[in-house]
């Protein structure tokens, strides 16, 4: 029995990345309340995105957390305790659509580097959103792996500035996050 238990324990201790989708009331201070919870309990946020939803009095937060199963369980439970949190869901990685947007300003002083970057951008289905004598700004959307790959590709040109939004996600299929009641 002991061995089964310890095996289970080891499994629980593995660190995973989790995508947590949180539906909250769109009240002033709600972001602080959520962020404060993570700080207070010592959980690490990898990224957090916040935005409006189909309903004006609600907002959706997509939080990426790294931790083992025990930490994740606590994160979900503690979030659920907050009065302004309507629903919390751990979106399993395969069962959701996830996207991140990234803006990259790339050093491009001559035509050849410009045309090369434009080619790369096309392959990654990105967009050139700004152009100047010595730089290009590219908008690229996708999951984090795709963006990482693009960033690696253009690194040699020299990345002058970059802004990533962090991941946002929705469940696949007809299911939606609903209030705790229903």
Taking every pair of C-alpha atoms in the chain, what is the biggest distance, in angstroms? 69
29 counts as binding another protein under rule CB under 8 A: yes
Cβ atoms of 177 and 58 within 8 Å: the answer is no
73 counts as binding another protein under rule CB under 8 A: yes
The only residue of 28, 42, 56, 173 in contact with another protein, by rule CB under 8 A: 28
Q: How far is the CB of 147 from another protein (least distance, A)?
A: 33
Q: How many CB atoms lie within 10 A of CB 116?
A: 16
- Write the binding mask 77 to 96 for another protein: x where contact by CB under 8 A, - elsewhere: xx-xxxxxxxx---------
In terms of Cβ atoms closer than 10 Å to its own Cβ (0-12, 13-18, 19+), residue 108 is buried
Q: Distance between alpha carbon 156 and the CA centroid of its chain, in Å?
A: 26
181 counts as binding another protein under rule CB under 8 A: yes
Binding site for another protein (CB under 8 A): 24-25, 28-29, 32-33, 36, 40, 70, 73-74, 77-78, 80-87, 179-181
């Amino acid at each position: 029995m002991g061995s089964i238990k310890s095996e289970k324990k080891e499994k629980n201790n593995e660190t995973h990345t989790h995508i947590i989708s949180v539906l909250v009331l769109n009240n002033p201070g709600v972001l602080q309340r959520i962020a404060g919870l993570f700080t207070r309990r010592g959980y690490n946020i990898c990224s957090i995105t916040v935005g409006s939803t189909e309903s004006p009095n609600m907002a959706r937060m997509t939080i990426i957390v790294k931790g083992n199963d025990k930490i994740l369980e606590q994160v979900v439970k503690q979030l659920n305790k907050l009065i302004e949190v309507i629903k919390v869901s751990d979106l399993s990685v395969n069962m959701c659509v996830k996207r991140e947007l990234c803006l990259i300003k790339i050093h491009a002083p001559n035509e050849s580097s410009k045309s090369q970057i434009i080619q790369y951008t096309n392959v990654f289905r990105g967009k050139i959103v700004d152009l100047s004598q010595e730089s290009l700004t590219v908008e690229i959307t996708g999951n984090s792996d795709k963006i990482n790959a693009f960033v690696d590709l253009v690194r040699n040109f020299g990345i002058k500035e970059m802004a990533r939004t962090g991941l946002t996600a929705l469940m696949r299929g007809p299911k939606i996050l609903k209030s705790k009641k229903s």
